[in-house]
Chain A
Amino acid sequence: MLDTFIQMFSYSFMLRAVIVGVLVALCSALLGVTLVLKRYSMIGDGLSHVGFGALCLALAMNVAPLAISVPVVVIAAFLLLRISENSKIKGDAAIALISSTALALGIIVTSMTTGINSDVNGYMFGSILAMSTTDVYVSIILSAFVLVLYVVFYNKIFAVTFDENFARATGTKTGMYNTLVSLLTAITIVIGMRIMGAMLISSLIIFPALTSMRVCRSFKSVVVTSAIVSIICFFIGLFISFAFSMPAGASVVAVNAITFGIFSILGIAKRKLS
């Protein structure tokens, strides 16, 4: 086991996957708490489909994947927020509309050009081979941006998540913070979906928050626990994927699901005992 572990880090592609993966796990766990509590968890799912469409487009046009998908997904995030705030179309319906349209576009573009090849498959279900060195640097910079903004605005994010009306009534620009959260989510998803896959990245946002909410009862403890749980689950998932040659995204999600089960039991036990 230890051998496998050491071996895992001797591959530079694994090292790249670990660096990016841990950063994404951290960012998505932090944002996930807010998204889940605001009942916006489906936004992650919608944006990842948009990201898939963008990646297919980048592949067809033969340009760097991040160069296309970051702006496209960020724009989609703004659109989704606007639609769910202002119009008569309900938020979840708007997400379904945009995400299935983007998915359809991606598949049409793909079938007209390359066809469903291993690259496209990688976008769907993730690939740890996906990251180039440039991607790693870009990912590090983007994740640092997400983390710094989250820490700087932590108290505001709590206030807006807990009671948006009070925050707005007492002079906080809630629209700006909602926009910030969806911007950060968009960036996190674009970075993460290369490893996790478009179909699975949203679980990285939802699981850690729900898992820690089984046991923790204050906002700060939920945020901290989510971050820790997310990173540990990612590590274990990646290790399993390496040791048993399974797709990384799927193993990480499976580990998250098991952890969720364990925390649910712990939560019940805690309530019984107290």
Chain B
Amino acid sequence: MKLIDCQNVYMNYDSTKAVNGVSFSVDSGDFLCIVGENGTGKSTLLKGILGLQKVNSGTITFTGIVNKEIGYLPQKTAVQKDFPASVREVVLSGCQSRGFRLFYTSADRKKAQKNIELLGIDGIKNKPFNELSGGQQQRVLLARALCATDKLLLLDEPTTGLDPFVTAELYRIVDELNKKHGVAVVMVTHDLKNSVQYANKILCMEHDGDFFGTVDEYMKTPAARMIFGGGTNA
């Protein structure tokens, strides 16, 4: 079943073109990695999908899913330096996005706690968010994104700032969510090696045109051959 269908999407900032006619789709159960050079519009495309930024032409259609059911990890989160918020409060606010609650239910709290443990931040859950290291903050925001969804995760370079151990752990977690719990994943990343290992589909955005297809198809493209060496898939 198709969750998101993007056809010929164009987006720009005032006069700068950011996304140039991208077409792709996400089915339920998909693990899609979006790769490509810096500045080819990957983050902008995610913002378009989420309705944070205007799409100038083309269509983005959602089926069987609404914004409320999407978990999102932005590439950059502009949280003020002095914002008083504990890690627990931040993670719980992910649960909040799914409809109106007067108070958090015990199911919400359990889910938040589960994700806190999953990302190994149980020891710092009462600490103020703004006093954490960059990597720790990234884990907190990822836990928040996990709280927000059972269906679709949009992750914009989630491993930025994480140490190699946690990076591997993150791929394992996302993979488990995807394979075991059926959460569809769209991940922007520059980590091609892990992309082709975990994803089933690749969207490669380049200045001179895009590629969208399965991992196997991607491996046959000239760009992938150049990176992975001609022989890997032959």
Contact = CB atoms under 8 A, between A and B. Distances in A.
Interface of A: 37, 152, 155-156, 158-159, 162-163, 165-172, 213, 216-222
Given A168-B52, A218-B85, A219-B85, A155 B68 contact: no
Contacts of B102: 152, 155
A213 B86 contact: no
B90 A162 contact: yes
Given A37-B83, A218-B84, A219-B84, A167 B97 contact: yes
Contacts of A213: 82, 84
Contact of A169 (B70, B86, B100): B70
24 contacts: A37-B80, A37-B83, A155-B92, A158-B93, A162-B89, A163-B78, A165-B52, A165-B74, A165-B77, A169-B50, A169-B67, A169-B70, A169-B72, A170-B68, A171-B66, A171-B70, A171-B98, A213-B84, A217-B84, A217-B86, A217-B131, A219-B84, A219-B85, A219-B89
Determine the interface band of chain B, counting residues with CB < 8 A from chain A: 35 or more
A220 B89 contact: yes
Given A162-B79, A163-B79, A166-B74, A171 B86 contact: no
B144 A166 contact: yes
A252 to B, nearest CB: 24
Contact of B89 (A37, A152, A167, A218): A218
Nearest to A209: B84
Given A169-B67, A171-B66, A217-B128, A159 B84 contact: no
A171 B104 CA distance: 17
Given A155-B101, A162-B79, A169-B72, A219 B96 contact: no
A218 B86 contact: yes
B77 A163 contact: yes
Contacts of B85: 158, 162, 218-219
Contacts of B104: 155
B51 A159 contact: no
Contacts of B51: 168-169
Nearest to B73: A166
B103 interface: yes
A231 B74 CA distance: 39
Nearest to B129: A162
Nearest to A159: B93
A136 B20 CA distance: 61
Interface string B46-85: 0100111000000000000011111110100111101111
A166 B96 contact: no
B124 to A, nearest CB: 12
A189 B131 CA distance: 34
A169 B52 contact: yes
Which of B71, B85, B100, B127 is the most central at the interface, judged by chain A CB atoms within 10 Å of its CB? B85
B17 to A, nearest CB: 22
A222 B51 CA distance: 32
